[in-house]
Structure 1
Amino acid sequence: MSSNSGALSPSEAFQAAAQRSAESKTYLGTFAQSLEFELDPFQRDACRSLQEGKGVLVAAPTGAGKTIVGEFAIYLALERGLKAFYTTPIKALSNQKFSELSAKYGASSVGLLTGDTTINGEAPIVVMTTEVLRNMLYADSDTLGDLGYVVMDEVHYLADRFRGAVWEEVIIHLPSEVQVVSLSATVSNAEEFGAWLDTVRGHTDVIVSEHRPVPLWQHVMVGREIVDLFAGDTTFDEIAPEAADGEGSVPEPVREPDRNPPQREFEVNPELLSMARAESQMNFRGRFGHGGRSRRRQDRQRDNTASEQRSPVRKASRPQIIASLDRQGLLPAITFIFSRAGCDGAVAQCAAAGLWLTTEREQQIIASRVDEASREIPADDLDVLGFWSWRDGLLRGLASHHAGLLPTFKEVVEKLFADGLVKAVFATETLALGVNMPARCVVLEKLDKFNGEAHVNITAGEYTQLTGRAGRRGIDVEGHAVVLWQPGTDPAAVAGLASRRTYPLNSSFRPTYNMSINLIAQFGRPRARQILESSFAQFQADRSVVGLARQVRSREESLAGYAESMKCHLGDFTEYAKLRRDLSEAEQFASRSTSRARKSLTVDSLSRLMPGDIVKVPGGRTPGYAVVLNADPNSREPRPAVLTEDNQLHRIGAHEVEGPVDPVSWIRIPKAFNAKLPKSRRDLASAMRNAVREGRPPARGTNRSEDFGRARYMPDQEKKIADLRRALRAHPCHGCSEREDHARWAERWWKLRHETDGLIRQIQGRTNTIAKTFDRVCDVLAVYGYLQTSDAGHVTISADGQRLRRIYGEKDLLISQSIRQGAIKDLDGAELAALASTMVYQAKRDDRGLRPKMPSVSLETSVDIVVREWSALEDVEDKNRLPLTAEPELGLVWPIFKWAKGRHLQEVLSGTDLAAGDFVRWAKQVIDLLDQMAKIPGLERRQTKMCREAIDLVRRGVVAYSNVS
């Protein structure tokens, strides 16, 4: 391993000069002379290893210049008459790298492969997403011929829970003669990862650099004043990195002892500590100084606003923050806001405040580029895309950047920012991955974010990744990271994030159906099993057992103490605590079941209402009787329009009623009724009141309330709850005077026991855990007939198994099974596109609601097949103790169907929470799946034709002209 601090002694400098003189006639020397800057020591070390025929792992901070090593690999390939592949985790980064390399080596020498884009694929240099290379390896593509080098940019992405396994697959399967260049952010277990690379790829040098070429200063913005985080003249780089100690690292340290640098002492700015103390004292006095319990209760009710009022710092607005950065020469800046709406809102706020960051000449250039980029966008799409407000923001030097932005718009923002024309970008954390958008300053609004389930603090690794954007090499002499002061800010905690710059790289690898069947096809089952045992996941698992065992011993000691504290002189409190827990879980299950049944039947009853039905609304804004004016049968969340007793027009939804809604009466709505006319409304309301008074029966329908009562009645569950309650009351410990004190210790014991048992299971399953998972995957494939075993014990792949080899994605086996059972047999192009969406779409929230009515009978039948196959597959996976395939989601069916039918974008997005960029991204994934399906061997000619037709129907308009995703 090589580690560089950036500073050389005189003797080291002399040796380096002599070495450079000797190297001047080598490939490295020629390459170095072609550059406009001097190579850093870590870059030279890595390039030297490559020149010697070794693989390299380069771990260095963002902006340190890791990609130079990848470019040297490309240079070597060209000089030696070989091919070089440059892989990235995302298409946007692939597009960006393709543009850079094309400008350097010429368009004829560089190709691009990103799944939905193919440009010059047989060129000597090809940029691609890592998934494309994985698929080429499994297909034994001819493009792999003469491949000499593979650059894996952002290789630390192999920790990604959903896509990380692809990196390991590629590393394992690349031919042994291919040299691999792995470029990573600074990770705390680089040696461990390098040791694995050395095992599976042969000699691999690990090159680690902690040095940032542009020093990074840390600040806290208090009001409009920027205050240094650390006391004295201390930059980020002068604080030695600390080994990761709380971010999911493997329990047993993997660094060699002499390579774990000590944590250098740092001192937090006393001014910030003083502010924090003053704020804390004001909060304490405000909450407890006067009024006793009543005052404290009032304080709790006003907690959020009161904390800001009591803070000694007046919080600056976003326009004020940007203006302050501008005055201090800290633009261009990226402000990270962990919310798409927050990013767009920040641009709107700055524009509304009259903020202009550009000159007239810059505005002219921006206008020209924006108009050129949007030239092919249909004029009637501009409004729905929010084009004009987006353009106005750019002219001011302002922009947002997030996944919901139209890919074309996002690309324009990136280019304008890189050229210094856009000065302030408000971005979500997705910008921190790969895309080349360095800034002079990075601002973090908050140090916590919503992870889909709860608000959690960002980790030191995330802080490093985000702030690493600050400081443009060759432009800025220093970068700046600014954290905004919030009520309750702890400067010491911020300093702790800033002083731990590294994070561990942990494998997310697990065998999938597609991976397993491709391995068996190429190597046979025994060899495939051995290959999987060589994964980084297994490598880490074997090395972490010692640490897990140590954790178990520590927890067992704590459990003994908890057990002693919960002892009861009246009886076995462990037994009593289990009764309490079982009762709590049974009651929660019953409550959830009732709630789900209530919501389902309520929504169903609202969707069944017809014009003329009279209903009684128990709550909401307008309780009382109402007559239905318009039905809403096809919506996932029906909200029929009604006229109330007091002549008001309103819509009622599931949240306004307490359960299923039954028509209590019925009237005929006159054809001449006009809801806009007060007289029409009065007459109809009067007719409604008469019908209710006369007791006129409803026109039709069942009693939904009775349905709810039946759904709610769960005799087995109620009996279980009653039995548990009786057993609890009869237990001797129920009468203990210290019962609740014992119960608290029992709860702690149970929680720790649960965690400890999990660790024990991990230890038991660590040995050959990946291979065991592979065996279970093979068992499932055998159940479905994809794998067949001969009398001699040889495993072969069936014709259906050959189909699965060409299907990539999280629902690979479900897609294959659905095709096998005829799900795509009778569909036209638009219906096929809609069906494909169920296999790729993932809703933001786990709230699917009722299944919507499908656009056609054929599609309804096909969706039935998919859902039935998913349900059966889930049972098989559960039986074989495998992760369950995610349920097909139907939320994108109608938008994709409408789009494939040629509907306008505004109509497609209406009634959904999809942003234009989200829709484009999902549409491209639909296209990618359809393209896979079109290439499946043995598919009927008509089905292949429909796949191609579906691709053409979806690839139009904003989807066609958005070339980045």
Structure 2
Amino acid sequence: MTQFGEVAAFAEQLPFPMDPFQIRACEALEAGHGVLVCAPTGAGKTIVGEFAVHLALRAGRKCFYTTPIKALSNQKFNDLVKRYDTDTVGLLTGDQSINSDAPIVVMTTEVLRNMLYADSDRLRGLSHVVMDEVHFLADRFRGAVWEEVILHLAEDVRLVSLSATVSNAEEFGAWMETVRGDTTVIVDETRPIPLWQHMLVGRKILDLFPSRITPGKSGRKLNPDLLIHIKKRLAIDAAERGSSRFEPPRHRRGGRGPRGNIPGRYRPPSRPEVIIQLDKAGLLPAITFVFSRAGCDAAVAQCVRSGLFLTSEDEAKEIRRIIAKHTGELPEADLKVLGFDQWRTALERGIAAHHAGMLPAFRHTVEELFVNGYVKAVFATETLALGINMPARSVVLESLVKFNGDTHADLTPGEYTQLTGRAGRRGIDVEGHAVVLWQPNLDPEAVGGLASTRTFPLRSSFAPGYNMAVNLLRHMPAAEARALLERSFAQFQTDRSVVGVARTVERNERELAKLAGSANYNFAEFAEYAALRRAISDRERTLKHGATLQRRDSVAESLVRLKRGDVIVVPAGRRAGPAVVLEPDRDFTNPQPLVITAGAWSGRLSVKDFVDPTESVGSIRLPKHVDFREAPVRRDIASTLRNLGYAPRNRQNPKGKKKSDAAFDKELARLRRELKRHPCHSWPDREECARRFERYDRLKVETDRLRNQMNAASSSLGRNFDRIVELLSERSYIELGSDPVVTEEGEWLRRIYSESDLLIAEALRRGIWKGLSPAELAAVVSAVVYEARRDGAPAGTVPTGPLRRALADTQRIWEEIFADETRHKLPTTREPDSGFVHAIFVWAQGAPLLDALLAANEIPPGDFVRWCRQILDLLEQLRIVAPDPQVRSAAGKAVTAVKRGVVSVDATE
């Protein structure tokens, strides 16, 4: 028997030899250490998690296997059931509870967090916890859950943390060592399947780097054949434009120039053509990342219209069988609404889309077909890269720019690595391939930089919240709770950064003392004089800034007053001239009305477009619906504007401008008089002294800033926790004394897990959701759960009076909480959103899917199901937590009403 007998016994059960990093990690586990394993996608990190399962079973103990999302939990549950049996393995995801007392239970991380706070009996006998995809702790919405689990787990539980490759693995491991004890960090950056980088230029696939030289060895040196081919392509393009001159590509990663136009005549190959080229090169199956749900669906439609077939008749027959397995329970009427026939036609040809807007049953069908080799081309959004086991032979990137929710931004090296990491199927492919589509303004150097950079730092998103605060205070004194927060990875990273800042402050203080001691004049006296000069400059800046803000506020106020059809005149710039308002904007902070100008441009104006407040100079009667995206529509409206004869107003003559506020400011006048009376003002070398003193002053300002930064960083989480406790005590969720005590209302809050936990607890406490029908309760719950994917999405109609009152009362409570949070300098709770109210109401009333989707303002079916399930999650909590029996009863009935049809089918996601 070797020193690591269990590792040897476990290895014998595997159908393949273990890799060195897997052996090292398993040996550390058998030796009694916790482990942190960082390795690329597909490297086989989960083998280490499965060894933890093996150890727990051999010792007659328990192992919990946690994942960030339900889909991964289900996937791992099925894997472990195949290895062991249904008696040995259980599943807990919130939606499902299967054999939850089994020695091995797969669960979402939130479920384990809730168990820890409830001190569940199921924790007894727990020896190992696997945290798969632990890098999710960087997720700004759900990341805190991972750190809560790590901090709360009993010391004798061995933690197995599995992460994608991160550049600060050692830092994360050092923190794990401080909070969990002995932790072995194992980093493996070797992909089990080599990944080769290519660019598709026209219809030719070329290597990005010199042939068969890995990026690590060649650095960022590019393939000369690729550069020559691109240069020829640009020359041909220039010649086709009738000019011998052509511009080199601009140094950016994106695929399109201003206004989305591709320079010159070059047209990239169509999506069907790209798939055909990949097929000829033997690079299918392939995942093409499109970064747009609509783009994914459009790509599938293009391929089908082109007549592309990637399957045989036997494969199409098996595809139909798998489709029937996943969709057999869906009502026929719902399938018609969901475009089932078109979706099935594409699948039978080996082509599919994959994105969160799809129905889960459809998405899972695509996943099974792809893994089994029946679907050869998938067009997907980047969500596919997050953990789902769906590798391909090649990955195609149409663009290196994606919309991040606010703006179009370049892909980061971490995002590029994560996306291309899907290429190469272990045990099937000997190598994987990443293919970037070339366009004239795409710089190959930028692609080379992305492909050869491996920087993906893990940053904590941990922050105390209301639910966390009451749960901590229920289990420990406030001082201990504060100390626990200060042991978080967030505080650990902050404190580490403070060490370097402290060294800089010490060095600066020595330099300041040296400068003050070497001055050949009365240093203290000149410091007073310099302070006066600085106060005058600050005052002048404040007055100027105040005038600017006043002007901006006046302009913003004038924009908010505009109505649909109003004609305004843009005074200057590219949009100068008359414009008609299509869509007003009531956002007082930054109004951006949508307009069409006399130049046939459509877009949003802002405060920056106006020097002075604007006003309506007339109006145009507009049709009920104006499709401003259509050029003929814009031209017709522009023609009407030009015929009205409006012109830009002349700006005010500068000579006629009134004096600035500084000319009348008494405080500024006083400071100037005091400056002239100061003894240093008459020194002959005054300006020379001032220049020497400026160096001292700049260094002192910088040192004071760094010192404030240090003070703010130290115990920052603890201070936020104190503010939360103070707010909760004001609202009677906590009683302050020698040590805070959680009240009965606090007990409700303790069991509410939601972004809007305090708002929900207040609604329950005040009874504003009493008396609602099940459908009305589901609708008002949707307002605190749902969040529109884009600003300006239309709000749903509110069908009943009781529901209108409940929503209005919920909004008022939110306004009170928002004011309290602002006063206490806390992050604010998200405002209720009524955009899903009508949809969930009609669905809970028993309406067919078509009616619910129409009421949902064009929300895709997949999103409809996802929001329904999040509403179900909160309704399930209310069914248990709500203090009023009528609310509990209505919540239970609402669960039954919502959990039907497409919402109940494949609910294991």
- TM-score (norm. length: structure 2): 0.79
* RMSD of aligned alpha carbons: 3.5
1:814 aligns with 759
Q: 496-505 or 797-806: which moved more? A: 496-505
The structure-2 alpha-carbon separation of the partners of 1:96 and 1:724, relative to structure 1 and needing over 3 Å to count, comes to farther
Q: Which residue of 2 aligns with 1:49?
A: 28
Seen in structure 2, the aligned counterparts of structure 1 residues 71 and 520 have a Cα distance that, compared at 3 Å, is same
1:932 is aligned, of 867, 871, 877, to 877
Match runs of 1:533-932 below 5 Å: 533-547=486-500, 579-598=543-562, 651-652=624-625, 726-727=660-661, 762-790=709-737, 793-847=738-792, 853-910=797-854, 912-932=857-877
CA distance in 2, matches of 1:99, 1:124: 15
Query: Which residue of 98, 102, 113 maps to 2:81?
Result: 102
- Aligned equivalents of 1:943, 1:213: Cα separation in 2: 54
Match of 1:59 among 32, 35, 38: 38
The answer to whether the Cα contact below 8 Å between 1:337 and 1:426 also exists between their aligned partners in 2 is yes
1:943–1:762 distance in 2 versus 1, CA, 3 Å: same
Q: Residue 272 in 1 paired to residue 272 in 2?
A: no
Q: Which runs of 5+ in 1 are unaligned?
A: 1-20, 240-263, 292-300, 558-568, 608-618, 622-643, 657-721, 732-752
Which stretch of structure 1 is more off in the superposition, 855-864 or 767-776? Answer: 855-864
State the match for 2:101 in structure 1: 122
Give the Cα separation in 2 of the matches to 1:235 and 1:488: 26
Contact 1:838-1:889 at 8 Å conserved across structures: yes
Q: In 2, distance between residues paired with 1:769 and 1:547?
A: 17
CA contact (8 A) 2:257 2:441 kept: no
- Distance in 2 of aligned mates of 1:949 and 1:124: 33
For 2:661, the aligned partner's letter is A
Deviation track 1:905-938 (CA, whole Å, cap 9, x = no partner) reads: 111111503000001000000000011111117x
Aligned-residue identity in percent: 50
Q: Give the match for residue 389 of structure 2.
A: 436
Alpha-carbon offset, residue 809 of structure 1 = 1.3
**Structure 2 residue matching 1:103: 3-state secondary structure:** helix
Q: Structure 1 residues 204, 554: closer, same or farther in 2, change over 3 A?
A: same
Distance 1:403 1:35 in 2: 34
Distance 1:199 1:386, change over 3 A: same
In structure 1, distance between residues paired with 2:627 and 2:819: 32
Q: What is the rounded CA distance, in whole Å, between the counterparts of 1:33 and 1:576 in structure 2?
A: 79
* 1:68 paired to 2:53: no
What pairs with 1:285-434 in structure 2 (closer than 5 Å)?
A: 307-309=262-264, 311=266, 314-434=267-387
The residue type paired with residue 100 of structure 1 is D
Instruction: Please say if residues 334 and 427 of structure 1, whose CA atoms lie closer than 8 Å, have aligned partners that are also in contact.
Output: yes
Give the aligned length. 769
Match of 2:253 in 1: none
| Distance across 2 between alignment mates of 1:453 and 1:773 | 28
| Other structure's SS at 2:341 match | helix
Confirm or deny: 8 A CA contact 2:326 2:365 kept in the other structure: yes
Matched residue, 1:14:
none
1: CA distance, partners of 2:410 / 2:393: 25
CA displacement at 1:283 relative to structure 2: 9.0
Residue 141 of structure 2: SS of its match in structure 1?
coil
Give the AA of the match of 1:442: V
Q: CA deviation at 1:585?
A: 3.4
User: Are the aligned partners of 1:418 and 1:437 in contact in 2 as well (CA < 8 Å)?
Assistant: yes
Mapping for residues 173-212 of structure 1, pairs under 5 Å: 173-212=152-191
Report deviation, 1:794.
Answer: 2.4
* Letter of the structure 2 residue corresponding to residue 961 of structure 1: V
Q: Is the 8 A contact 1:315 1:485 kept in 2?
A: yes
Q: Cα–Cα, structure 1 residues 725 and 38, in superposed 2: closer, same or farther, change >3 Å?
A: farther
Q: Distance in 2 between matches of 1:654 and 1:270?
A: 48
CA distance in 2, matches of 1:864, 1:754: 49
Matching of residue 941 in structure 1 with residue 885 in structure 2: yes
Contact residue 358 and residue 397 of structure 1 kept, 8 A: yes
- Distance (Å, rounded) in 2 between the aligned partners of 1:332 and 1:936: 49
User: By how many angstroms is 1:83 displaced?
Assistant: 1.2
Q: In 2, distance between residues paired with 1:409 and 1:444?
A: 23
User: Structure 2 vs 1, CA of residues 754 and 287 (structure 1 numbering), >3 Å: closer, same or farther?
Assistant: farther
Instruction: Confirm or deny: 8 A CA contact 1:599 1:654 kept in the other structure.
Output: no
Amino acid at match of 1:923: C
2:284 match: secondary structure = coil
2:381 is aligned with what amino acid? T
Q: Report deviation, 1:443.
A: 0.8
Q: Please, which of 464, 482, 499 is the counterpart of residue 511 of structure 1?
A: 464
Distance 1:493 1:620, change over 3 A: closer
Work out whether residues 73 and 84 of structure 1, in 8 Å CA contact, stay in contact via their aligned partners in 2: yes
How far 1:964 moved relative to its partner? 3.9
Match of 1:521 in 2: 474
The answer to whether the 8 Å contact 1:900/1:954 transfers is: yes
Question: Which whole-Å deviations, capped at 9, do the CAs of 1:478-503 have from their partners, x for residues lacking one?
Answer: 01111111221111111111111231
Partner of 2:903: 959
Offset at 1:147? 1.1
Q: Secondary structure at the match of 2:867?
A: helix
Amino acid at match of 1:907: D
Provide the residue aligned with 2:248 in structure 1.
Answer: none
Structure 2 Cα separation of the partners of residues 452 and 429 of structure 1: 13
User: Do the aligned residues in 1 keep the contact of 2:65 with 2:106 (CA within 8 Å)?
Assistant: yes
SS in 2 for 1:910: helix
In 2, Cα distance between equivalents of 1:600 and 1:403: 35
Within 5 Å, which residues of 2 pair with 1:476-487? 476-487=429-440
CA contact (8 A) 2:89 2:104 kept: yes
Aligned partner of residue 862 in structure 2, secondary structure:
helix
**What's the offset of the Cα at 1:384?**
1.5
Q: Distance in 2 between matches of 1:513 and 1:114?
A: 23
Amino acid paired to 1:787: I
SS in 2 for 1:480: strand
Native 8 Å contact 1:186 1:208 kept in 2: yes
Matching residue of 2:578: none
Measure the CA separation in 2 of the matches of 1:503 and 1:620. Answer: 43
> What's the secondary structure of 1:107's corresponding residue?
coil
Q: Contact 1:899 / 1:908 at 8 angstroms: preserved in 2?
A: yes
CA contact (8 A) 1:583 1:725 kept: no
Q: Which amino acid in the other structure matches residue 325 of structure 1?
A: L
Greater shift in the superposed pair: 218-227 or 509-518: 218-227
Amino acid in the other structure paired with 1:22: T
Give the SS at the match of 1:221: strand
CA distance in 1: counterparts of 2:292 and 2:391, whole angstroms: 20
| 2:22 aligned counterpart, secondary structure | helix
> Once the two structures are superposed, what CA deviation does each residue of 1:479-537 show, in whole Å capped at 9, x if it has no partner?
11111112211111111111112310010000010011101101121111111111000
Contact 1:224 1:316 in 2 (8 A): yes
Contact 1:848 1:889 in 2 (8 A): no
Shift of 1:103: 1.5
